[in-house]
Structure formats: C-alpha cells, structure tokens
C-alpha cells in the first residue's frame, strides 16, 4: 500500500500572494484542493514563536503548505474566509531515501 492510499480526505488551500503596506496578508491566488489525511488530535505543539499551542487537527499532504496558507478542512464552507485556518506547526517530512516528502501540518 502506498503513502497516497492513505490520503482519503480533500482539503482546500489558498496561498498568500503578498503583504499589504500594513503587513496584513493578501490572498490573491485562487483556492485549490489537495488530497490529504486529516485526523482529530489533542496535542501540544511548539509554535513559530517557541510557545506551546494546543492543536486539534493533524494533516498529512503532498501539497506545499506554509504558515501563511489558508486551510479549509473537509466540510468547511470555502466561501467563508473566517472558516479558513492557518497552520500552528508545519513540518516537511523526509522519504526513506532522504528526499523531500510530504508536509505534516498541525491546526
């Protein structure tokens, strides 16, 4: 069974294209979907600032995800930008041969 066989969910993503003059994110790029594995978790993770944050979802996907990417979980209303979430922790996993692999994201 391959890794992709475990990607049974579909998430919607939107990448930040630039920052405004007041440093607010601007999302001009269109939304797109990606295959993923979404699991409910209750876990403390280290955020970008080094503080512990409680995550309630874990995602594995081959789509490139950054801390600035908007993420809608399966079943979320993608027309509602307030339903979008941003990653608390992003980790790029490695394949067995050492090459870059999938992304693991905590929300």
60: CATH? 2.40.10
Q: What is the mean pLDDT of residues 22-34?
A: 89
Which range marks the domain in which residue 79 is found? 3-106
How many domains are there within the chain? 1
pLDDT at 5 exceeding the cut of 90: no
Tens digits of residue pLDDT in 45-74: 998 889 999 999 999 999 999 999 999 999
**H or E stretch including 84?**
none
pLDDT reading at 95 higher than 80: no
Tell me the average pLDDT of the chain: 91
pLDDT of residue 1: 65
Q: How many CB atoms lie within 10 A of CB 59?
A: 24
Quote the CA–CA distance of 3 and 67 in Å, as a whole number: 24
Write down the pLDDT at residue 12.
96
Is residue 71 within 8 A of residue 12, CB to CB? The reply is yes
């Amino acid at each position: 069974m391959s890794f992709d066989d475990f990607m049974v969910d579909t998430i919607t993503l939107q990448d930040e294209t630039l920052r405004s003059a007041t440093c607010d994110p601007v999302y001009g790029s269109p939304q797109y979907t990606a295959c993923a594995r979404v699991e409910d978790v209750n876990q403390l993770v280290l955020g970008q600032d080094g503080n512990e944050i409680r995550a309630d979802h874990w995602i594995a996907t081959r789509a490139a995800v950054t801390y600035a990417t908007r993420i809608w979980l399966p079943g979320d209303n993608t027309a509602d930008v307030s339903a979008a979430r941003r990653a608390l922790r992003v980790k790029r996993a490695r394949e067995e041969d050492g090459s870059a692999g999938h992304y693991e994201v905590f929300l």
